[in-house]
A and B are shown apart, each in its own frame.
Chain A
Amino acid sequence: MLGEGILKGLAQTAKNFAGSYVSEERLTTVQYPEERLPVAEASRVFPFLVFDGSEWLGGMRCVACQICEKECPPKCIYIEKSKDKKPDYVGKQQFYPVRFDIDISVCMSCQICVEVCPFEAIKMDTAFELATDDRFGGLLLDRQQLAKSNEYYHSIHPTEASEVDARLDEEKVKAEAKAKAAAPAAAAKPPAPAGGKD
């Protein structure tokens, strides 16, 4: 009969209405600032720069190769390469970024910078409460603000971070072995070919 379905629907909503006062578990709302859902491991918001050890500038993995700057679709990354060099995690002398800025008001969280980075230096963060009342300065993050420790990386993306660490360790071992093998040869042939990333 006409209207039967409407009555059924009205009964359902009435049940919801009354039930929400009786049983709290019906309510699906998470009262956000006080209550929070755990952040999923695979979630990603904006990129950050990983550094090893305790000192952010010294341990920074980024070598200012500027691949991410070139690949970034909305062009939100700005890098200035250093004139001098510092040793990287293998101990090899590398350039480092004097300036590394990401404008997160432009960034579209596409993760392309992460995928192109050959040094595992840039990763995606899970922090999402980035609102600020300064829409120019506040949203332009410099290298210090972007630098997060490897421990932090482990805490937000444990699986991914262990994989990355394993890969880096493997490379380090390989590089050391290569260096050892190359050492006698280097004594014989003075100009050793530089290149640790293959």
Chain B
Amino acid sequence: MAATFDQIFILFRNWLVHFLPPAWQPAAGALLGVIGIVAVFPGLFALTTLLERKGLGRMQNRYGPNRVGPFGLLQPVADGLKALTKEDVVPFNANGLMHLLAPLVMVVTVFMSFAVLPMGRHMELVDMDAGLLFFFAMGAATELSVFMAGWSSRNKYSILGAMRAVAQMISYEVPMLLSSVAVVMIAGSLSLPKVVAAQNHYTGIFPHWYVFTPWGFGAALMFAIAAIAETNRSPFDLPEGESEIIAGYHTEYSGFKFALFFLAEYLGMFALSGLGVTLFMGGWSAPFSFLTWIPSWIWFFAKVMLAICVFIWMRGTLPRLRQDQLMNFAWKFVLPYSLLVLLVTAFWRFLPPGWERWVVCTVILAVAYVVMGRAAFKLKRVGPRSYRYAE
């Protein structure tokens, strides 16, 4: 019974598909999978916008939206209607075609990156041998669409936002890739289902998630920082810093195109949370061995939503960084530390299993963190703000 429930979506797809002639079945199955992704994640997006606004409100001692429907639950519907009915303004000097293409390219590439995420046992759209690489390739295409949006709007704020966004995304993509490579080194595969399978073991009741190893914890931390930066979320939301450059690269977008950007931003959050969960937190595997009867897809989505809540929590807490602080943090702290994590992962891989490698790896990473943190503070590279011009 539990197994049926675990595979319910797969069984449902197979049941739907078996009405068709066999030649069409693979294509139809893939199409159903795509429909599933395209239906589920925007729904989750609507829910998350509400969750974010409510959560941020509570963190700031406010109520958050509570007017539309009971407890403001229909707020996303109202927002969606507003976005649909608003006038779609294209600036006179804008490059019309690219102005139109940018949000589309962005949403399409973000959606494509969901194809390789295992959202449950056997619940990945494509089990690609180079799944992780595919994911990052799609992320790279997102950068281009951000740039297209900024440039085609023919607006100073847009271009500034786009430049900031692209610089930031390139800078943080490096540590993100490096911390993912650490996982690939241990799991021995770029295919995400295999990465999950490698973590789906238990010692006693505790799982073998990579985040519970010293190198995995360091890598997960770096990955989380890079993921927040990659999705342009606070405290790294300079590309759309409202107080400085209005809305960054989507300043000149309104109506449905703006909604698409908004959608793409949240889908990017889901995709990166999904990837982080898959790489470090065991993907769809249960957190304790006695909880494996709960369907795998519930675990995946629960973990993703947990990650989203951390995103929101971060946003409610931290102020925005300055551009130089952002870049210094990326290149002088996150990148070297990711490289160190990679080195420690290699130690972990080749040291014999036992408590010694735990001690060695933990000590190296912890000492490096403290020393690098101190040094960064001392050299004013990261850390408290200095106001050179304000005094």
Residues on the A chain within 8 Å of B59, using CB? 13, 16-17
The answer on a CB contact under 8 Å between B317 and A20 is no
The answer on a CB contact under 8 Å between B63 and A13 is no
The answer on a CB contact under 8 Å between A13 and B316 is yes
Residues on the A chain within 8 Å of B376, using CB? 2
Distance in angstroms between the alpha carbons of A14 and B314 in the assembled complex: 10
Residues on the B chain within 8 Å of A31, using CB? 63
The answer on a CB contact under 8 Å between B58 and A16 is yes
Q: Mark B50-66, 1 if CB is under 8 A from A, else 0.
A: 00000100111111000
Taking the closest CB of chain B, its distance from the CB of A152, in whole angstroms, is 32
A132 within 8 A of B: no
Q: Mark A2-38, 1 if CB is under 8 A from B, else 0.
A: 1100100110111011011100001111010000000
Chain A interfacial residues counted at CB < 8 A: 19
The answer on a CB contact under 8 Å between B58 and A9 is no
The answer on a CB contact under 8 Å between B373 and A12 is no
Q: Mark B356-377, 1 if CB is under 8 A from A, else 0.
A: 0000000000000110111011
A188 within 8 A of B: no
A187 within 8 A of B: no
Q: Taking CB as reference atom, which chain B residue is nearest A7? A: B317
A1 within 8 A of B: yes
Q: Taking CB as reference atom, which chain B residue is nearest A11? A: B317
Residues on the B chain within 8 Å of A10, using CB? 313-314, 317
Residues on the A chain within 8 Å of B377, using CB? 2
Residues on the A chain within 8 Å of B383, using CB? 2
The answer on a CB contact under 8 Å between A27 and B61 is yes
Taking the closest CB of chain B, its distance from the CB of A3, in whole angstroms, is 7
B227 within 8 A of A: no
Distance in angstroms between the alpha carbons of A23 and B101 in the assembled complex: 49
Distance in angstroms between the alpha carbons of A31 and B55 in the assembled complex: 18
B23 within 8 A of A: no
B192 within 8 A of A: no
Taking the closest CB of chain B, its distance from the CB of A10, in whole angstroms, is 5
Most chain B CB within 10 A, of A3, A17, A29, is at A17
Residues on the B chain within 8 Å of A1, using CB? 369-370, 373-374
Residues on the B chain within 8 Å of A21, using CB? 58
The answer on a CB contact under 8 Å between B369 and A28 is no
Complex interface residues of chain A between 143 and 180 (CB less than 8 A to chain B): none
Taking the closest CB of chain B, its distance from the CB of A1, in whole angstroms, is 5
Taking the closest CB of chain B, its distance from the CB of A79, in whole angstroms, is 39
Taking the closest CB of chain B, its distance from the CB of A5, in whole angstroms, is 8
Residues on the A chain within 8 Å of B314, using CB? 10
Residues on the A chain within 8 Å of B318, using CB? 6, 9
B382 within 8 A of A: yes
Residues on the A chain within 8 Å of B370, using CB? 1
Q: Which of B58, B313, B333, B369 contacts A20 (CB 8 A)?
A: B58
Taking the closest CB of chain A, its distance from the CB of B376, in whole angstroms, is 6
Q: A3-B373, A29-B62 are in contact. Are A13 and B313 (CB under 8 A)?
A: yes
Q: Taking CB as reference atom, which chain B residue is nearest A9? A: B317
The answer on a CB contact under 8 Å between B373 and A17 is no
Q: A1-B370, A2-B376, A17-B55 are in contact. Are A26 and B317 (CB under 8 A)?
A: no
Q: A10-B317, A13-B317 are in contact. Are A20 and B373 (CB under 8 A)?
A: no
Q: Mark B303-321, 1 if CB is under 8 A from A, else 0.
A: 0000000000110111000
Q: Taking CB as reference atom, which chain B residue is nearest A28? A: B61
Distance in angstroms between the alpha carbons of A26 and B61 in the assembled complex: 6
Q: Mark A99-119, 1 if CB is under 8 A from B, else 0.
A: 000000000000000000000
Distance in angstroms between the alpha carbons of A29 and B66 in the assembled complex: 12
Distance in angstroms between the alpha carbons of A69 and B383 in the assembled complex: 58
The answer on a CB contact under 8 Å between A27 and B317 is no
The answer on a CB contact under 8 Å between B313 and A27 is no
Residues on the A chain within 8 Å of B369, using CB? 1-2
Q: Mark B375-390, 1 if CB is under 8 A from A, else 0.
A: 0110000110000000
Distance in angstroms between the alpha carbons of A12 and B383 in the assembled complex: 19
The answer on a CB contact under 8 Å between B62 and A28 is yes
Q: What are 20 A-B pairs with beta-carbon distances under 8 A?
A: A1-B370, A2-B376, A2-B377, A2-B382, A3-B373, A6-B318, A9-B318, A10-B317, A12-B317, A13-B59, A13-B313, A14-B313, A16-B58, A16-B61, A17-B55, A17-B58, A20-B58, A21-B58, A27-B61, A27-B62
Interface residues of B (CB under 8 A from A): 55, 58-63, 313-314, 316-318, 333, 369-370, 372-374, 376-377, 382-383
